[in-house]
Amino acid sequence: MPIIFWTLIGFLSGSIPFSYLIVRFFLSLDVRDYNDGNPGAGNAWKLGGWPLGLPAIILDFSKGAVPVGLAYYMYGISGWSLVLPSLAPIFGHAFTPFLGFRGGKSVAVTFGVWSSLTMVKGSLAFGIFTGVFYLFQTVDSWSIISGFLCFLPYLLFQQEGNHILAIWSGNMIILIWRYRFELNQKMQMRPFLQNIFRRVY
pLDDT digits (tens, 9 = 90+) for 12-70: 999 999 999 999 999 999 999 988 889 999 999 999 999 999 999 999 999 999 999 99
Task: Give Cβ neighbours of residue 41 (< 8 Å, ≥ 6 apart).
Answer: 18, 19, 53, 56, 57, 60, 104, 108
200 within a domain of the structure (yes/no): no
- 194 vs 64, which has greater pLDDT? 64
- Domain range for 111 is 2-194
* b/e sequence 167-184, b meaning 16+ C-beta within 10 Å: bbebbbebbeebbeebbe
201 within a domain of the structure (yes/no): no
Q: Report the chain's C-alpha Rg in angstroms.
A: 17
173 within a domain of the structure (yes/no): yes
Phi and psi (nearest 5°) for 195? -65, -40
Tell me, what amino acid is at 193?
A: L
pLDDT on residue 161: 87
Angle at 136 between CA 64 and CA 41, to 5 degrees: 30
Q: How far apart are CA 183 and CA 157, in angstroms?
A: 28
75 within a domain of the structure (yes/no): yes
160 within a domain of the structure (yes/no): yes
Give residue 80's Cα distance to chain centre.
21
199 within a domain of the structure (yes/no): no
Q: Which of the four pLDDT bands, split at 50, 70 and 90, describes residue 201?
A: low
Q: How many domains does the chain have?
A: 1
